[in-house]
Amino acid sequence: MQPFNLGWLKRMSAGGIVILATVLSTVICVLFSGGAYLIRSLITPAEAGADMWAILEALATAAAFSVAVGGGLMVLAQLTEAVDSRNLTIFNDVFERLMSDRNIEARRWIYQDLPDNPDQGLASLSEEGRQNVKYVLNSFDHLGFLIQQDWVSGEAENAIVQWVSPFVVKTWQKLGPYIDYEVEHRPEEPDYYEAVRHLAEKCVAYRRALLRRDPEVTWRDDAL
């Protein structure tokens, strides 16, 4: 299910939100008051005098409710802006981590030099290779944990998964067997790099939905 889209509210100016809240409050007040008057007219005999206190009470209730709705709209706009600001900060942090020269070089090493077989790879892994693998895993673990804990959610999560899915899926094809191997040999750590797996599964699911088939990786020695 797609999250409720508040993009139209985020694009409005502060003055526009105030005007919208005022108009919405007025319309709700008029509708509420009119409905109360109509209902009273239907249930009260025409010859009976109007109950002024009941009418005033209905008007006061309508006014309070409409003001609450208008105020709630303004609070919602402020909360949406605050969430956007937080998500932008997280997005920038993730970008700096994953698009750094160090991270790109580490992923390239994994693509080109990491053996497919974990038994062979772990036995022959150099210190440089080990650092590259851990560096990439830790950066993916950081993002996966943020998503796993709902610190990045909704539209922001979808946007980030869409952005990182190509290289996460590609890297996971190499590193996934290594994580499975480690979990198998670490019975006391079933959650070993669990957040990385969570991120990878989301990215694979996104690519599958986008391509309408299981994602495949094409390895090229002359790639950028």
Mean pLDDT of the chain: 77
Quick one: 115 and 192 in the same domain?
yes
Quick one: 53 and 11 in the same domain?
yes
Q: How far apart are CA 201 and CA 161, in angstroms?
A: 10
Q: Are 186 and 154 in contact (CB under 8 A)?
A: no
How many domains does the chain contain in total?
2
Quick one: 69 and 123 in the same domain?
no
- The torsion angles phi and psi of 195, rounded to 5 degrees, stand at -65, -30
- Out of 83, 111, 127, a domain closes at 83
Q: 2 pLDDT band (50/70/90 cuts)? A: very low
Domain that holds residue 171: 99-211
- Out of 53, 83, 113, a domain closes at 83
Residue 92 lies in a domain: no
Residue 108 lies in a domain: yes
Quick one: 129 and 74 in the same domain?
no
Quick one: 69 and 141 in the same domain?
no
Quick one: 166 and 67 in the same domain?
no
Residue 88 lies in a domain: no
Tens-place pLDDT, residues 171-210 = 999 999 999 999 999 999 989 999 999 999 999 999 999 9
First to last CA, the chain: 36
Residue 217 lies in a domain: no
Quick one: 158 and 105 in the same domain?
yes
- Out of 30, 52, 83, a domain closes at 83
Quick one: 110 and 169 in the same domain?
yes
Quick one: 117 and 197 in the same domain?
yes
Q: How many CB atoms lie within 10 A of CB 142?
A: 16
Residue 33 lies in a domain: yes
Quick one: 75 and 115 in the same domain?
no
Tens-place pLDDT, residues 157-168 = 888 999 999 999
